[in-house]
Structure 1
Amino acid sequence: MEREGMLVRSIYFGRIGREATERLLERFGHDGSFLLRDSETVQGAYCLCVRKAPFVHTYRLVRSTEGWFLQDPGVRMQSFGTLERLIENYRRGSGSEVGVAPLTEPLDKRHLQYNSFGQEFSYMEM
């Protein structure tokens, strides 16, 4: 993750689960809001989670010998050298051409504060 750009570092929430991700995107996001988290089932993979009401769509990002790609049967496999390039590619609009929910607004973790007592996040204006 340290080799990634600012976008990826700002939206990477680490080892949060699916339910916490959905709550975050429902509470603080809008249609097109997205974040990145660790995959709960595939070690070394990430999940790109995108809100498109009334759902949160999850796409697994996997590393191969050629680079990172979005693992989805409906999406043509295309490799990228970094997660940032992959996300920016789908963010520029090519995602809608292949059935990926539009990525319009990164959910920046720097604007959220984690309260471990209540296991909740709160929004902080930066």
Structure 2
Amino acid sequence: MEREGTLVRSIYYGRIGSGATESLLERFGHDGSFLLRDSETVQEAYCLCVRKAPFVHTYRIIRSTEGWCLQQDSGVRLQSFKTLETLIESYRRGIGSDVGIAPLTNPLDKTQLQYTSFGQEFVYMETCSSSSSVY
């Protein structure tokens, strides 16, 4: 992760669970807000989580010999990219519209979550969840 660009480092939340992800995106995001986290079920894979009301959509990102790619529910891998940053930026520019990816418009920068919101202080912490979700 340290070799990735500024965007990926700012939206990478580490080992947070799907419940915490949904809470973050519901509380601090809006349609098109997105973040990156570790997959809870696939080692060395990531989840790109995007808020598109009324849901948070989750897309697994895996690494293959060709590079990083999104994996669809059917197991089909989409176009490969050399870096996570390139993958995310490509989908932000609309490459995912033809494969049903929710629009990525607003990165949920974790450094912005240190500020007080609605009179309540929010503290970001990386946690490890043992929930049994699909991703």
Report if TM-score (shorter chain) is over 0.5. Answer: yes
In 2, the alpha carbon distance for the partners of 1:74 and 1:89 equals 21
Query: Gapped runs of 5+ residues in structure 1?
Result: 115-119
* Residue 83 (structure 1) aligns with: 84
State the number of aligned residues: 118
* Residue 127 (structure 2) aligns with: none
- Cα distance, 1:112 vs. partner? 1.1
In 2, the alpha carbon distance for the partners of 1:24 and 1:111 equals 12
- Cα distance, 1:104 vs. partner? 0.2
Show CA shifts across 1:98-125 (max 9, x none). Answer: 10000000000011139xxxxx8359xx
Could you list the runs of 4 or more consecutive aligned residues of structure 1 that deviate by over 4 angstroms after TM superposition?
Answer: none
- Cα distance, 1:74 vs. partner? 8.7
Task: Map 1:1-126 to 2 at 5 A.
Answer: 1-72=1-72, 73=74, 77-113=78-114, 121=122
* Residue 117 (structure 1) aligns with: none
- More displaced 10-residue stretch of structure 1: 1-10 or 92-101: 92-101
- Give the partner amino acid of 1:104: T
Query: Gapped runs of 5+ residues in structure 2?
Result: 116-120, 125-135
Greater per-residue strand proportion? 1
Q: TM-score, normalised by structure 2?
A: 0.82
In 2, the alpha carbon distance for the partners of 1:45 and 1:68 equals 9
Q: Which has the higher contact order (CA 8 A, sep 6+)?
A: 2
Show CA shifts across 1:68-97 (max 9, x none). Answer: 000013976211000000001110011112
Q: Secondary structure at the match of 2:9?
A: helix
Contact 1:31 1:51 in 2 (8 A): yes
